[in-house]
Chain A
Amino acid sequence: MPHRPPPKTPTLGCLLAGLCLVFTGLLCNLPARAADILLTGAEDSPGMQSFVQALSELRPTDSVRFQPVASLPAPGQLPVDTRLILLDLPSLDWRLQDAQGPATLVLRISRLQARQRLGNEMPTHLSLLWSDPPLDRQLRLTRLLLPEARRVGVLFDSHSEFLLKEVRQAALPLGLEVVTERWDNTNDSRPLQALLKNSDVLLGLDDPDLYNPKTVKNLLLSSYARQLALIGPNAAFVRAGSLASTYSDQNDWLKILDELLDRPSSTWPRALYPQHFKVLSNPQVARSLSIEPMNEASVATQLAEGERRP
């Protein structure tokens, strides 16, 4: 990661370059000290208010404000040095109508949603901060909690199919086998049954077509009936009965934003999984599945340490 240089002995050239970077950073940061941070979303919910409030407390020298997207001009008409943060999909739609305008951080967007809106493109003026837990992290969580599980079952549909390649790639170094099953019609339980038969654990992709209030009961009861745990797809599912998941909450995102806002927008990555995260588990489900009670904080630390290693 750019803000965390690899720990090796710097050469003179590197040192000079580093020095330049620091200066450039300082220069860029000077206007940023009084930066205009504009957050926008379709409507001003209490959740958004508290988030804006928390961000302004974190950055007292900046001007942090929220404005509903309906009241904003076209993105191109905003000052270029505005630090624009989008909080929902309607505001992304608004931002996408104009290629001009300030660099933008897009929050609360999942890989699936981005794919549906943007296809394979990664617009250069956007930084997409993924809301869904990274699959590699979820797989490593799976291996940590269920070291004996070998076959990881993954349900997908046409919207989430593009993630399978990534799951397989992430599973390979962990020695896990990915078993997949297409589930286009969630009223038909056969694909789920077929998958349960061939898996040791299920990994949920954050695909609301598959994992939603309508399917949650069948998914969890059927997998539990076979004594199989579900990992993911998100924190809400853990409360419903999934064994565990990694997730990033408001505090994690505030830390991430704080770090990004300290940097010139030109160095923002095109897309980013949050490096700050937590682990949520369901101790009652763990107990019923004969799994040792876990210390969520230490599991999160172990996972984070694993990610720091090259």
Chain B
Amino acid sequence: MVLALIFSSPLLADDLFLDNDPLPQVLTATRLKQSPAAVPGSMTVIDSELISASGARDISELLRLVPGMMVGNISGNQAAVNYHGTKASEARRMQVLIDGRSVYRAGLATVDWSDIPVAMEDIERIEVFRGPNTVSYGANALMAVVNIITRKPADSHGTRLKVTRGQRGINDFYASQGMGWDSGDLRLSLSGQQDDGFDSDRTGADYRDSRRLNRFSLAVSQMLNENQSIDWQLNAKDGTNQRPYTYRPVFSGITAAGNNSDVIAKDYAGSLRWNLDINPDHSLYIQGSAQHWDRQQTWRACDAEISFSPELTQLWQLNPNYTERLARNMDRYTVSGAPAGTAAERALGNQVLRQWQDGARQTLCGDIDQSARESRYDLELQDTLSLSDSLRLVSGMNYRYDRANSETYFNGTLDDTTWRAFGQLEWRATEHWLLQGGAMYEDTQLTGNSLTPRVAVNYLINPRHGLRAVYSEAIRSPDMFENNVNWSYQVTNLKPSAYGQSSARYFVKTRGPGDLEQERMRSRELGYNGYFAEWGLAVDVKLFYDEITGMISEPLRNNQYIASNSNSSRFSGTETQLDWRVSSADRLRLTYAYVDAEASNPLDAQQTARNSGSAGWLRSWGQGWNSALFYYGADALNGYRFERVDTRIAKRIGLGKANLELAGILQQRLDNQPTTFVDNNYDDRRVLYFSAELEF
């Protein structure tokens, strides 16, 4: 086979009868990817057909199609997505990339799924690497990697207009224009999203979690010459996420309160990538990106004047437990005197109690500013070298600068610099055996350095069926918040003033330990991937055993946040996915995951459904009619069952050169439980929405 190519090449060169047009080699060894059976790990691809058939309005909802993915909600505008599990309120052990740019917020260790400046309609496919892979994706690719790939400008020509309207205040739009010229292509899209979120909280009162957002996106590809091209993108998102007012006064007798703590969330991103094909066996790219996350969150909170007492602040610094006990029982201790403690504690305690008696129990209201602004600049060089027909080396370097600014969280600005070098070698030892291994070295200014290896062996029974064994290590660097938080509230606009000041610092102050180390994951996996071409059936099965040590699992709370690396978790189980094109009209898709979680901190096992999965049936009925039926189920996410059936029925109508697609989506919950958290309730288990999309 190899010989044939070698022999035929010179023949092609001077043969009068072979078209000697100088065609560039397009699908080169460096551009071609591993076949599914040869991938060194587990991969789930959500293609454009599934994306549109699902009728999903959120990226997080699509991830329900990935086996082992635990998709929950903190509120209507905050998704919590974990692979295999860990905490329900924080999902921070998964890397999320959009066209190679990480949208994982380094400052606050979250992915704001709803704020990602990408419209669903611009997504070509989502590739989910199920398992750790820091070698290819950098630190934080701890439990999984979600790689969102937008549609290439060259594939988005023409005009698309779409509106979606429905119950629960659903009101979305999308408009895009794509065009091509001799050496390049462009896509401009504008989109918006709006809904009411969940309907009611645990008390039955209206739940404040609606959202409203607008996005702008521009993507351009430009060929510079035969072997060089550039791709650049600009993305922006602006919107409001409602948040309920959750401040509970520490001191008794306070009845005044604010009514919300809504967030204005703005995301900006720009990236530029230069691709160079040195020759068919060697290519590289350099990608630079800049991102900015702006979360403006100010709200009015009320508590007693004593909250701003310098003596109380001093006491907190001495002993937060003692202070909290005192603060929550002021009236009782006014009678008995400061609770037992050291002499200094008692002295300060009694001063505070005196202030309380002297009128510091009066209610004050002021503005709390919990805004955070984070920026990231990232530069990556990746080189792909095909050393021979059976040996390929992918290597590269990455530099990242992160800066977070927040008066509340960091008392100003904090920054961090990360250097990373990585290399991965793919060696096709024989037609059947494939060995892939690599390592990443990372050095972070705030947390130090680490080296993580990864090795995989694939045995290809034939090109379409392969067995794999993978061992990998991965790390997650603690984010700035966990490690370096310097949390205190400067309350402004105080009315009436506190001790004569209109701006004062709240007594609670929390500091991160500053010496946290990386969390470390060790993952072992055995798997099978096969494609039965004659039936159109693709199957993947995996068994896994993952351990995380040095786990930072203390909740991020501002009273007594003491983070440590003292926890650990273990996840083991099996996953399977099945994609069957039964006929040219029917496609069946099934996923199932059995996950057993054990965690030293019970909170880290709460977002693990022991049994979860999805089933889908897509059918094209002819005459432009299409239907899709999906079932999603998880037996317990944060203790609550989740079962839903989504139906989408669409009709495509040709209008001359244009195409109109009308679709109706009905989502029916099968259970009667809140979604992930007790406050996430819908009045009706059913929601209906419609969309109309015009393409020309």
In the bound complex, how far is the Cα of B27 from the Cα of A236, in angstroms?
13
Residues of B contacting A17 with CB < 8 Å? none
- For residue A216, CB closer than 8 A to chain B, the reply is yes
User: Once the chains bind, are B19 and A289 in contact (CB under 8 Å)?
Assistant: no
Query: Which among A22-30, A186-194, A261-269, A302-310 touches the partner chain?
Result: A186-194
- For residue B463, CB closer than 8 A to chain A, the reply is yes
Q: A150-B584, A224-B27, A240-B25 are in contact. Are A283 and B155 (CB under 8 A)?
A: no
- For residue A218, CB closer than 8 A to chain B, the reply is yes
- Residue in A45, A48, A236, A295 whose Cβ sees the most chain B Cβ within 10 Å: A236
B1-45: CB near A (< 8 Å → 1, else 0) gives 110110011011011111111111111110111111100000000
Which residues between 269 and 310 of chain A lie within 8 Å of chain B, taking CB atoms?
280-297
Q: A151-B584, A249-B15, A280-B8 are in contact. Are A236 and B20 (CB under 8 A)?
A: yes
Q: A190-B158, A225-B124 are in contact. Are A288 and B23 (CB under 8 A)?
A: no
In the bound complex, how far is the Cα of B431 from the Cα of A235, in angstroms?
25
Residues of A contacting B27 with CB < 8 Å? 220-221, 224, 240-241, 282, 284-285, 288
- For residue A113, CB closer than 8 A to chain B, the reply is no
Given B1, B16, B18, which contacts A87 in the complex, CB threshold below 8 Å?
B16
A143-187: CB near B (< 8 Å → 1, else 0) gives 000011011000000000000000000000000000000000001
The residue on B at minimum CB distance from A296 is B4
Which residues between 96 and 128 of chain B lie within 8 Å of chain A, taking CB atoms?
124
- For residue B346, CB closer than 8 A to chain A, the reply is no
A66-88: CB near B (< 8 Å → 1, else 0) gives 00000000000000000000010
Which residues between 304 and 324 of chain B lie within 8 Å of chain A, taking CB atoms?
none
In the bound complex, how far is the Cα of B9 from the Cα of A294, in angstroms?
17
User: Once the chains bind, are B157 and A189 in contact (CB under 8 Å)?
Assistant: yes
User: Once the chains bind, are A250 and B17 in contact (CB under 8 Å)?
Assistant: yes
In the bound complex, how far is the Cα of B146 from the Cα of A138, in angstroms?
40
- For residue B533, CB closer than 8 A to chain A, the reply is yes
- For residue A222, CB closer than 8 A to chain B, the reply is yes
- For residue B536, CB closer than 8 A to chain A, the reply is yes
The residue on B at minimum CB distance from A192 is B155
Residues of A contacting B9 with CB < 8 Å? 239
User: Once the chains bind, are A222 and B16 in contact (CB under 8 Å)?
Assistant: no
Residues of A contacting B155 with CB < 8 Å? 189, 193, 222, 225
Shortest CB distance A112–B (Å)? 13
In the bound complex, how far is the Cα of B11 from the Cα of A224, in angstroms?
27
- For residue A248, CB closer than 8 A to chain B, the reply is yes
User: Once the chains bind, are B26 and A220 in contact (CB under 8 Å)?
Assistant: yes
Residues of B contacting A188 with CB < 8 Å? 157-158, 180
User: Once the chains bind, are B25 and A108 in contact (CB under 8 Å)?
Assistant: no
User: Once the chains bind, are B17 and A290 in contact (CB under 8 Å)?
Assistant: no
Q: A148-B534, A241-B26 are in contact. Are A249 and B32 (CB under 8 A)?
A: no
Residues of A contacting B223 with CB < 8 Å? 217
Shortest CB distance A287–B (Å)? 6
In the bound complex, how far is the Cα of B149 from the Cα of A108, in angstroms?
43
- For residue B182, CB closer than 8 A to chain A, the reply is yes
User: Once the chains bind, are B16 and A147 in contact (CB under 8 Å)?
Assistant: no
User: Once the chains bind, are B23 and A239 in contact (CB under 8 Å)?
Assistant: yes
Residues of B contacting A284 with CB < 8 Å? 27-29, 32, 389
A228-272: CB near B (< 8 Å → 1, else 0) gives 000000111101110000011110110000000000000000000
- For residue B373, CB closer than 8 A to chain A, the reply is no
In the bound complex, how far is the Cα of B19 from the Cα of A108, in angstroms?
10
In the bound complex, how far is the Cα of B25 from the Cα of A73, in angstroms?
43
Residues of B contacting A193 with CB < 8 Å? 155, 157
In the bound complex, how far is the Cα of B23 from the Cα of A237, in angstroms?
7
- For residue B495, CB closer than 8 A to chain A, the reply is no
Give the contact-size bracket for chain B: 35 or more
- For residue A212, CB closer than 8 A to chain B, the reply is yes
User: Once the chains bind, are A240 and B14 in contact (CB under 8 Å)?
Assistant: no
Residues of B contacting A253 with CB < 8 Å? 17
The residue on B at minimum CB distance from A234 is B19
- For residue B531, CB closer than 8 A to chain A, the reply is yes
The residue on A at minimum CB distance from B181 is A187
Residues of A contacting B33 with CB < 8 Å? 288
In the bound complex, how far is the Cα of B5 from the Cα of A13, in angstroms?
51
- Residue in B180, B181, B431 whose Cβ sees the most chain A Cβ within 10 Å: B180
B532-564: CB near A (< 8 Å → 1, else 0) gives 011010000000000000000000000000000
User: Once the chains bind, are B32 and A288 in contact (CB under 8 Å)?
Assistant: yes
In the bound complex, how far is the Cα of B15 from the Cα of A280, in angstroms?
14
- For residue B255, CB closer than 8 A to chain A, the reply is no
In the bound complex, how far is the Cα of B534 from the Cα of A241, in angstroms?
24
In the bound complex, how far is the Cα of B5 from the Cα of A281, in angstroms?
8
- For residue B154, CB closer than 8 A to chain A, the reply is yes
In the bound complex, how far is the Cα of B223 from the Cα of A265, in angstroms?
51
In the bound complex, how far is the Cα of B16 from the Cα of A252, in angstroms?
12
In the bound complex, how far is the Cα of B157 from the Cα of A87, in angstroms?
41
Shortest CB distance B160–A (Å)? 11
Given B21, B180, B185, B464, which contacts A290 in the complex, CB threshold below 8 Å?
B464
Given A45, A148, A236, which contacts B533 in the complex, CB threshold below 8 Å?
A148
Residues of B contacting A94 with CB < 8 Å? none
In the bound complex, how far is the Cα of B462 from the Cα of A88, in angstroms?
45
User: Once the chains bind, are B35 and A212 in contact (CB under 8 Å)?
Assistant: no
User: Once the chains bind, are B463 and A291 in contact (CB under 8 Å)?
Assistant: yes
Residues of B contacting A252 with CB < 8 Å? 17
Residues of A contacting B185 with CB < 8 Å? 189
Residues of A contacting B1 with CB < 8 Å? 283, 293-295
Q: A280-B8, A289-B35, A296-B4 are in contact. Are A240 and B26 (CB under 8 A)?
A: yes
User: Once the chains bind, are A148 and B536 in contact (CB under 8 Å)?
Assistant: yes
Which residues of A are at the interface with B, using a C-beta cutoff of 8 A? 45-48, 50-51, 87, 107-108, 131, 147-148, 150-151, 187-190, 193, 212-214, 216-218, 220-222, 224-225, 234-237, 239-241, 247-250, 252-253, 280-297
* Known interface pairs A281-B4, A288-B35, A296-B4; 18 further A-B residue pairs with C-beta atoms within 8 A, sorted by A's residue number: A47-B14, A187-B182, A218-B154, A220-B27, A221-B154, A225-B152, A225-B155, A236-B21, A239-B9, A240-B27, A241-B27, A247-B18, A249-B11, A282-B5, A283-B1, A284-B29, A293-B1, A293-B463
Q: List 6 A-B contacts (CB under 8 A).
A: A47-B20, A48-B16, A190-B157, A240-B25, A247-B18, A281-B4
Which residues of B are at the interface with A, using a C-beta cutoff of 8 A? 1-2, 4-5, 8-9, 11-12, 14-29, 31-37, 124, 152, 154-155, 157-158, 180-182, 185, 223, 389, 431, 462-464, 531, 533-534, 536, 584
